[in-house]
Amino acid sequence: MQFAGSHILSVHQFERADVERIFTVADRMEPYAQRRRITRVLEGAILGSMFFEPSTRTRVSFGSAFNLLGGEVRETTGFESTAIAKGESLYDTARVLSGYSDVIAMRHPAEGSVGEFAAASRVPVINGGDGSNEHPSQALLDLYTIKSEIAGRGRGIDQLRIAMVGDLRYGRTVHSLCKLLCLFDQLQVVLVSPGELRMPGEIVEQMRRAGLEVVESEQLEASIAHVDIVYSTRIQEERFSTQEEADLYRGRFRLNQSIYTHHCEPNTVIMHPLPRDSRDNAQELDDDLNDNPNLAIFRQADNGVLVRMALFALILDVVDQVDQHARDVNWYTARRF
């Protein structure tokens, strides 16, 4: 695809070469994200960060990514008392607000709303999550993490074995990740969930048509025995009508250090889109995994900054200028690990 000036709305708009291009650019952002270097390539540019629905980490990740490229961020959070409540159409909102920035990152609770907004926007829009529909930068950072974690083993994404665990029915991140995986070859995917929270059939079908080997299971231990990656998810209790119904599922597939040691191959990578639920009755990833070097969940969050920097650099077409506007960091950064 042509990145310059494009909206980023869905994982469906990417071909394999596009994903690989994003990852190549993300790799080049590492010195800046890790504060060894700074770049001012987007000095003077403005990101419009519009979160019609709260999401601290996604919002701050986008904002910091733009700051790391030298740009400014103007934010809007919570739209209850604003123009939309007074009957303004999303078209008008988009026409007006897109006049105030050079690129927009937007989250909205309604499916399809970000696409509708983008159609009226005068600047590129990145979908930061529209209801249960799409969240492409999350899927990209998940796949980028998979690539990074296994790169040191001389392997690529093709032929990997991945277990996805938990709420596969409502979990937007696993849906988008599965769609991206379809761009790669000979992967084996094990889907572990309660029967009621199975991956939607059309996504399973889509993966099989794309040549992936897909197995569904309700049993954790056997399913994670022969995989390279365990991707765990939170039971989205807010999707259930009662707390009791949610509690039926929360805590059903807990991974802890003991299970990991007894069942997983050495160096199996553990991922999670975060937040993980650390309350006693949940603990889908136990705290005792925190010292496990294969727990990649915080590197995964860090990778979000790299991927979002890459998206900004690509759609604003400054990839080749980033290093020209760079210099060394002049403050103390030694605590970072």
Among residue numbers 311 through 330, which ones bind its own copies (CB under 8 A)? 315-318, 321, 329-330
The per-residue DSSP string of 187-250 comes to -EEEEE--GGGPPPHHHHHHHHHTT-EEEEES-HHHHTTT-SEEEE----GGGSSSHHHHHHHT
For its own copies, the closer of residues 47 and 168 by Cβ is: 47
255 binds its own copies (CB under 8 A): no
43-60 burial code (b ≥16 CB/10 A, e <16) = eebbbbbbbbbeeeebbe
CA nearest 197: which of 161, 237, 169?
A: 169
State the Rg of the chain over Cα.
Answer: 20
CA 132 to chain centre: 14
Binding mask 216-235 for its own copies (x = CB under 8 A): ------------------x-
Q: Which is nearer to its own copies, 16 or 122 (CB)?
A: 122
Q: Which is nearer to its own copies, 112 or 156 (CB)?
A: 112
3 state DSSP class of 125: strand
Segment 190-209, which members bind its own copies (CB under 8 A)? none
DSSP state of 311: H
In the bound state with its own copies, the residue whose beta carbon lies nearer, of 262 and 335, is 335
Query: Binding residue for its own copies (CB under 8 A) from 205, 221, 265, 287?
Result: 287
In the complex, the smallest distance separating the C-beta of residue 196 from its own copies, rounded to whole angstroms, is: 21
Residues 75 to 94: which contact its own copies by CB under 8 A? 75-76, 79, 81-83, 86-89, 91-93
Could you say which of 28, 60, 225, 257 contacts its own copies (CB under 8 A)? 60
Q: Rule CB under 8 A: choose which of 154, 209, 291, 331 binds its own copies.
A: 331
Residue 217 · residue 223 · CB < 8 Å: yes
Question: With left for phi above 0 and alpha for psi between -120 and 50, is residue 22 left, alpha or beta?
Answer: alpha
Query: 13 near 126, Cβ under 8 Å?
Result: no
State in angstroms the smallest separation of the CB of 135 from its own copies: 15
Q: Tell me which residues in 105-134 interact with its own copies (CB under 8 A).
A: 122-124
Phi, psi of 175 (to 5 degrees): -60, -50
In the chain, the amino acid numbered 158 is D
Q: Which of residues 11-30 bind its own copies (CB under 8 A)?
A: none
When the beta carbons of 14 and 51 are compared against its own copies, the nearer one is: 51
Q: Which is nearer to its own copies, 86 or 262 (CB)?
A: 86
Which residue, 110 or 274, is less far from its own copies as judged by CB? 274
* One residue of 18, 28, 67, 239 binding its own copies per CB under 8 A: 67
Tell me which stretch binds its own copies (CB under 8 A): 16-24, 97-105, 168-176, 254-262: 97-105
Token pair, residue 260, equals 């990991």
The reply to whether 245 sits near its own copies by the rule CB under 8 A is no
Shorter beta-carbon distance to its own copies: residue 197 or 246: 246
In one-letter notation, the amino acid at residue 159 is Q
Judged by CB under 8 A, the number of residues near its own copies is 81
Token pair, residue 329, equals 């960091």
State which of residues 8, 25, 26, 68 lies at the interface with its own copies (CB under 8 A): 68
Q: How many CA atoms lie within 13 A of 229 on its CB side?
A: 32
**Are the beta carbons of 198 and 191 closer than 8 angstroms?**
yes
Query: Could you say which residues in the range 290-309 bind its own copies, by CB under 8 A?
Result: 290, 297-298, 301-302, 305
> Can you tell me which residue has the tokens 């991945």?
162
**At closest approach, how far in Å is the CB of 275 from its own copies?**
4
